[in-house]
Amino acid sequence: MKGIIYDIQRFAIHDGPGIRTLVFMLGCPLKCLWCSTPQTQKPSPEILYIQSNCKKSLRCVDKCPEKAITFSDEKLKIDRKLCNACGQCVDVCPNQALKLVGEQRTVEELFQDVMKDNNFYRRSGGGVTIGGGESTMQHEFVTALLKKCKSMYIHTAMETCGYVKWEEMEKILEYIDLLYFDIKHMDSRIHKELTGVPNELILENVKKASKMRPIIIRIPLIPGYNDSEENLVNTAKFVAKLGDNFLRIELLPYHRFGIGTYEQLGRIYELKDVEPPSEEYMQKLKEIIESCGVKAQVGG
């Protein structure tokens, strides 16, 4: 069985206990306006064009078998409809102006890769965390990988947006020790405006998952979009009913780190005028959550 990963990060300390290896899967059913990793949204590989590295050798133009790369008006252009992300342009670029995102791996290959850090897991109480993109889009692959991790007594965690059939998530949860669950907005209509999908399935899955595993709710706070007191209070009231497996809410402040990636993908970033919130403002939002009797912290 093969899956498509975006990246592996080692020695992480913010996505579960101890020292962890983070595995980022490719593909996501949501299209959040503020997404900081747009290169993980599509379930298939893509080519990034890093214009600042480009010296206009034009080897990529000659090499592309689909004729998806052209050069006109002193600009290199990639026709995303023609490009099949074969990577031949990346291989011939002398200045690393082109980058292929997405790599196919078997479960065994990836498992052997994360096992390289097993000594660190043992010493620190760490383990493996699966994220994305959206990890559940490749639920069979993720389930198989986590099952192998648990066979070696490795602590496992997963971050999810929760927009997935319950029967698929339920299978994954058999091999999960800790679940991070994103809630973008409590109002379904607004949620759809912000992410492209409604939230009924997500909220229902939160309630079901919290009966099976310890759960941490994460809220990405986007000024002017989901940071109203009404939304935060409604979220706090919702999670307060989840029971003893609910651990806390983590408020993740909006940042602009992904803007350059939109340009590399030839896409428009719609929130370029939104400014990141101050530490003082984030503390104020944290206090709103806590006033409802719910434990909260800023950051992961």
Domain ranges of the chain: 2-42+103-298, 46-101
**Per-residue pLDDT, 29:** 97
Whole-number Å distance between alpha carbons of 288 and 283: 9
Span 2-42+103-298: which CATH code? 3.20.20.70
Q: Which value, in Å, is the radius of gyration of the alpha carbons in the chain?
A: 20
Stretch 47-74: mean pLDDT: 94
Over residues 130-182, the pLDDT tens digits come to 999 999 999 999 999 999 999 999 999 999 999 999 999 999 999 999 999 99
HEC per residue, 33-60: CCCCCHHHCCCCCEEEECHHHCCCCCHH
Q: What pLDDT score was predicted for residue 206?
A: 98
Q: How far apart are CA 6 and CA 279, in angstroms?
A: 31
pLDDT in tens, 230-276: 999 999 999 999 999 999 999 999 999 999 999 999 999 999 999 99
Mean pLDDT (the chain) is 96
Residue whose C-alpha is closest to residue 30's, from 268, 192, 208, 271: 192
- Taking the mean position of all CA atoms in its chain, how far away is CA 109? 22
Between CA 146 and CA 159 the distance in angstroms is 13
**Going by C-beta distance under 8 Å and a sequence separation of 6 or more, which residues neighbour residue 300?**
14, 15, 218, 250, 252
Fold topology of 46-101:
Alpha-Beta Plaits (3.30.70)
Is the entire prediction scored with pTM above 0.85? Answer: yes
Say whether pLDDT at 300 is over 90.
no
Q: Contact at 8 Å (CB) between 232 and 196?
A: no
Q: How far apart are CA 61 and CA 89, in angstroms?
A: 8
Phi, psi of 126 (to 5 degrees): -90, -155
In this prediction, residues 102-124 reach a mean pLDDT of: 95
- The better pLDDT of the pair 188, 75 is held by 188
3-state secondary structure of 249: strand
